[in-house]
Chains A and B, each alone.
Chain A
Amino acid sequence: MVLAEITGLFLSSLARLITGAQGHWKGCPPTSEQRIYFANHQSHFDWVLIWASLPGELRARTRPIAARDYWTSTKLKTWITTAVFNAVYVSRTRATPDEDPLEPLVETLQNGDSLVIFPEGTRSNKGTPQPFKAGLYHLSEQFPDVQLIPTWIDNVQRVMPKGEVVPVPILCTVTFGAPIRIEPGEDKRAFLERARAAVVALRPGGSGQ
């Protein structure tokens, strides 16, 4: 456990050294309330950046989501996701037709932990995020009391473009916006569109080209 903590500390200081990993809390203060942070996804580095920009006491209770098939394929990957990041595993393929892929996430939220999700489902390098997947809507429906925090990660695609291994030191920011919720009578499409707009609205001016 100590080794895991040291690794975590090392990774977060590395992220700070390379990117600054500045958290800008624009719409909400960093408190220990239960939350779902949903963010744009451009790089493998995204999670580490969000994690490093959170205050230390929130890190332990804020969990990322990892694809089970990829992140449990070797011992090292399993150790990093379990011991260091305390990740929630989800399956990308359903074993049986009626298995709910959101099941592990629901369990996590029931335990009172916060989640970080990337609702685009995959990394995009277009600058503007792709349409959001429905998972965010379903979670929010089941847990109306959990705050949904839109989050914009800026500049990270320049730090480590696809296919490169060594990151270039460039300052990145993580901007946390004001919480949103499902309005009464709002349908799934409208909500997901609004959630995506809330994330895009946090983009710092003039940097998105």
Chain B
Amino acid sequence: MRWLKSLNSGEQVAFLFVVLFGALLLVSIGSVLWSLRERPEEEQEAWQARWARFRHELNMVWVGACLFWAAWVSGPVGATLLFAVFSFLAFREFITLLHTRRADHRGLIISFFVILPLQYVLVGTRHFDLFSVLIPVYGFLAIPVASALADDPGRFLERNAKIQWGIMVCVYGLSHAPALLLLDIPKYQGRGAFLLAVLACGQIAQAIATSRFRAKPVARRISRSFTMKAWWIGAFAAAFAGALLYWITPFKAGQAAIAAFVAAGCGSFGAFVMQALKRDAGINAWGNRSAITGAVGLLDRIAVMCFAAPVFFHSVRWYFRAAT
């Protein structure tokens, strides 16, 4: 621990990434080896389904890890740009699945080409006060105004609610990820990696718990795999990881555990909510419906981050404002 504390911040984060990628690599290799084991014929099918789900979860964690690593390596500007592009792609996916009407056109243009870039400019320039209210306050008004000016009252509330929701998740939520990297906490710059590490631990633990223990799904029509038991296990695993990683954060061990617990719990609930949204839209994965080539399903992979990052960001920020 003392050795870890003695490293400078860059080295600490680098060390964390080495550990993370090492762990992911071990899990991946281990799971492949385990999949080669012989199984009785009758279990084959159930096992195939479980294996596919596990692979899917693992891939999500990999993508997340690589993303954050790329963001960290490319520094503040790179991180902001990278996440802006991901926001754009995710929001595009979200809007594709809604049945927008002609009258939504202007509202969508404002969302895509004014609010989205502005939000990321605010992140990049560290204007965190305006950054946290731009979409919920100003965007909240601007989008319905543009819509109303198009003179189409049909399903007005529904259409606007959908766009607002999409921009909150895909732009507002996700923009907190680079914000975490840029948040200036004295002596602890660039510690967004903490969030990634605990989220990854939480997700892995939850995925394992889901495939290991049979529990009753809380809402089986929304998700057959989401159980409270797995949620608790995931959140506690994240808390444990958070406590182990306290040396990278400005927190004490207990506080780090609580922060990790909250972030992972929220992220996992967020992914669950996205699942409900997918059911509503009548699809199994985000991305293109008749996915044959090239469809990415990006939203699936970043949902956890979209919900966890704002909660984490704002709690950290409050804590430090209160402390200083």
Partner of B95, one of A22, A164, A170, A205: A170
If over half of B's interface residues share one DSSP class (helix, strand or loop), that class is named, otherwise mixed; here it is: helix
Partner of A22, one of B99, B100, B109, B295: B295
Is residue A209 within 8 Å, beta carbon to beta carbon, of the partner chain? Answer: yes
Is residue A82 within 8 Å, beta carbon to beta carbon, of the partner chain? Answer: no
A121 to B138 CA separation, bound complex (whole angstroms): 45
Which residues of chain A are near B289, meaning CB under 8 Å? 204-207
Can you name the residue of chain B whose Cβ is closest to the Cβ of A206? B282
A158 to B204 CA separation, bound complex (whole angstroms): 39
A161-B105, A169-B88 given; A24·B96 CB < 8 A:
no
Which of A20, A24, A169, A205 lies at the interface centre, i.e. has the most chain B CB atoms within 10 A of its CB?
A: A169
Which residues of chain A are near B95, meaning CB under 8 Å? 168-170
Can you name the residue of chain B whose Cβ is closest to the Cβ of A21? B294
A166-B113, A168-B109 given; A26·B292 CB < 8 A:
yes
A166 to B88 CA separation, bound complex (whole angstroms): 16
Which of A22, A168, A175, A209 lies at the interface centre, i.e. has the most chain B CB atoms within 10 A of its CB?
A: A168
Partner of B293, one of A22, A170, A207: A22
Which residues of chain B are near A170, meaning CB under 8 Å? 92, 95-96, 100
Which residues of chain B are near A168, meaning CB under 8 Å? 95, 100, 105, 108-109, 112
A75 to B95 CA separation, bound complex (whole angstroms): 37
For chain A, the bracket of interface size reads 20 to 34
Whether A22 contacts B294 by the Cβ 8 Å rule is: yes
Is residue A171 within 8 Å, beta carbon to beta carbon, of the partner chain? Answer: yes
A22 to B290 CA separation, bound complex (whole angstroms): 10
If over half of A's interface residues share one DSSP class (helix, strand or loop), that class is named, otherwise mixed; here it is: loop
Partner of A161, one of B102, B113, B292, B294: B102
A170 to B89 CA separation, bound complex (whole angstroms): 9
A1 to B272 CA separation, bound complex (whole angstroms): 53
Which residues of chain B are near A22, meaning CB under 8 Å? 288, 293-295
A205 to B91 CA separation, bound complex (whole angstroms): 22
Whether B293 contacts A24 by the Cβ 8 Å rule is: yes
Whether A23 contacts B293 by the Cβ 8 Å rule is: yes
- 1/0 per residue, CB under 8 A from B, across A185-206: the answer is 0000000000000000000111
Which residues of chain B are near A204, meaning CB under 8 Å? 289-290
A170 to B96 CA separation, bound complex (whole angstroms): 5
Partner of B100, one of A158, A166, A205: A158
Is residue A114 within 8 Å, beta carbon to beta carbon, of the partner chain? Answer: no
Whether A209 contacts B96 by the Cβ 8 Å rule is: no
A209 to B113 CA separation, bound complex (whole angstroms): 27
- 1/0 per residue, CB under 8 A from A, across B278-299: the answer is 0000100000111011110000
- Min CB–CB distance B80 → chain A (angstroms): 18
- 1/0 per residue, CB under 8 A from A, across B217-235: the answer is 0000000000000000000
Which residues, 8 to 34 on A, are CB-close (under 8 Å) to B? 20, 22-26
Query: Could you list 30 A-B pairs, sorted by A, with CB under 8 Å?
Result: A20-B288, A20-B294, A20-B295, A22-B288, A22-B293, A22-B294, A24-B292, A24-B293, A25-B292, A25-B293, A26-B292, A158-B100, A161-B102, A161-B105, A166-B109, A168-B95, A168-B100, A168-B108, A169-B88, A169-B91, A169-B92, A169-B95, A170-B92, A170-B96, A171-B92, A171-B288, A204-B289, A205-B289, A206-B282, A206-B289
